[in-house]
Amino acid sequence: MKVVKLAIFSFVFLFTIVWLISLLIPSEVRVSRATDIRADRDSVLAMIKDVDRWKEWYPNLDSFDSVKPIYKDGKLAGIILDDKNPDKPVILQLQSAKADEVTAFFQGQRIKPVLNTWKVMEHQDKGLITLQWTMDFKLRWYPWEKFASLVLEKSNGQRMEIGLANIKKRLSTDLSSNN
C-alpha cells in the first residue's frame, strides 16, 4: 500500500512541477516568414485571395486527395483538407481580404484555430514588394500543448518558407512568360 501511495504522490508532484513550468511558456505564439518578390502587389494578392490557386503554392496542398471546397455566399471560400471526423473537419478557410492583407483560418482536429495572415508591403523601389506570412497560435493551458509549441517555429516555419518560395517562383514564371 505504501508503494501505491508513493507512486500516486510522485505522479501528482511531477505533474504539478511540469504544469508549473509550462505556465512560463507563452499562450500565444507567432511564427513569421517574409520574402522579397519582384512583382506588383495586385498579382501577389490575387494569388493568395483566390482559393482555386492555393494548390499552386500552398505547401503539400496538392498531396491531399480528398480536398473539398467550402462555399460561402456562393463563392469559394476555403477547403476541407480532411473530413474523416465530420464533427471536426480539418479546414483552411479564407477570412478576409483587404487592400494589402489576406487572412485565413486553419482549423485542425485537436488545436485551436490558427490565424494565417499574408501582408504585402511595397518598397520605394517600384516593382519590389515584401510578402510576410504569419501564423498566430493560441494555446490552451495543457502542459503537452505548451511544450509542443516549442517546435512550432521549426515545423511551420519551414512550410511557410516553401509556400513563399512557391509564390515567388510562380510569379517570376508568370512575369517572364508575359514579356
Domain boundaries, the chain: 2-178
More confident of the two residues 53 and 126 = 53
User: Any idea which architecture 2-178 has in CATH?
Assistant: 2-Layer Sandwich (3.30)
State the helix-helix crossing angle for 152-178 and 41-49, rounded to 10 degrees.
Answer: 120
| Chain segment 46-78, per-residue pLDDT in tens | 999 998 888 889 887 766 566 788 888 888 888
Average predicted confidence (pLDDT) for the chain: 86
User: Is the pLDDT reported for residue 102 higher than 90?
Assistant: yes
8 Å CB contact between 167 and 57: yes
The pTM of this model reads: 0.81
Handedness of CA 49, 54, 60, 65 (dihedral sign): positive
The span from the CA of 134 to the CA of 23, in Å, is 24
Which is nearest to 92 in space by CA: 57, 119, 126, 132? 57
C-alpha dihedral (72, 76, 78, 82), degrees to nearest 10:
100
Quote the percentage of the chain above a pLDDT of 70. Answer: 93
Concatenated DSSP letters for 36-83? Answer: EEES-HHHHHHHHH-GGGHHHHSTTGGG-TT-EEEEETTEEEEEEEE-
Write 45-52 long-range contacts (CB < 8 A, 24+).
45/97, 45/100, 45/102, 45/120, 47/167, 47/170, 47/171, 48/102, 48/118, 48/167, 49/94, 49/97, 49/102, 51/76, 51/77, 51/78, 51/79, 51/94, 52/76
